[in-house]
Structure 1
Amino acid sequence: MPGYQALHESGELARRAERAYALLRDCTVCPQECHVDRLAGETGFCRSGSLPIVSSYGPHFGEEPPLVGRNGSGTIFFAHCNMRCIFCQNYEISQCRGGAAISCEDLAEVMLQIERRGCHNINFVSPSHFIPQILRAVDIAAAQGLGIPLVYNSGGYDSADSLRLLDGVVDIYMPDAKYGRDDVALALSKAPDYVERMQAALREMHRQVGDLVVEDGIAVRGMIVRHLVLPENLASSEVVMRFIAEELSRDSYVNVMAQYRPAWKAAEGGMEPAFTALQRPITAAEYRYAVRCAMESGLHRGFFQ
Structure 2
Amino acid sequence: MVCTLSLLAGAAQAQLWDTPKATAAQTILKGFTARQTVLTRGDATITLDVAGNLVVGVLVEAGTAADVARGLGVAWGLAETDLAALQRNLGSPQLQAAARRGFVETADEDGSGLIALKLRGEGSATRYAAYVALKIWPDSAFPATRNVTGSAAAPDVVRIFSDFQCPYCREMWDSAAQGWEARPEQFRVSHYQFPLDKHPNAFAAAEASECAGAQGRFWPYADTLFREFDRWTPLRAADTALKFGGYAGSAGLKTAAFTSCLNAHTFKASVEAQVRAGLAVGVQGTPTVFLNGVKMGNYASPAEVARIRAVTRATPSAASVIDARLGLFR
TM range, smaller chain: under 0.3
Instruction: Tell me the TM-score normalised to structure 1 length.
Output: 0.25
- Bigger radius of gyration, 1 or 2? 2
Instruction: Tell me the TM-score normalised to structure 2 length.
Output: 0.24
Higher relative contact order (CA 8 A, sep 6+): 2
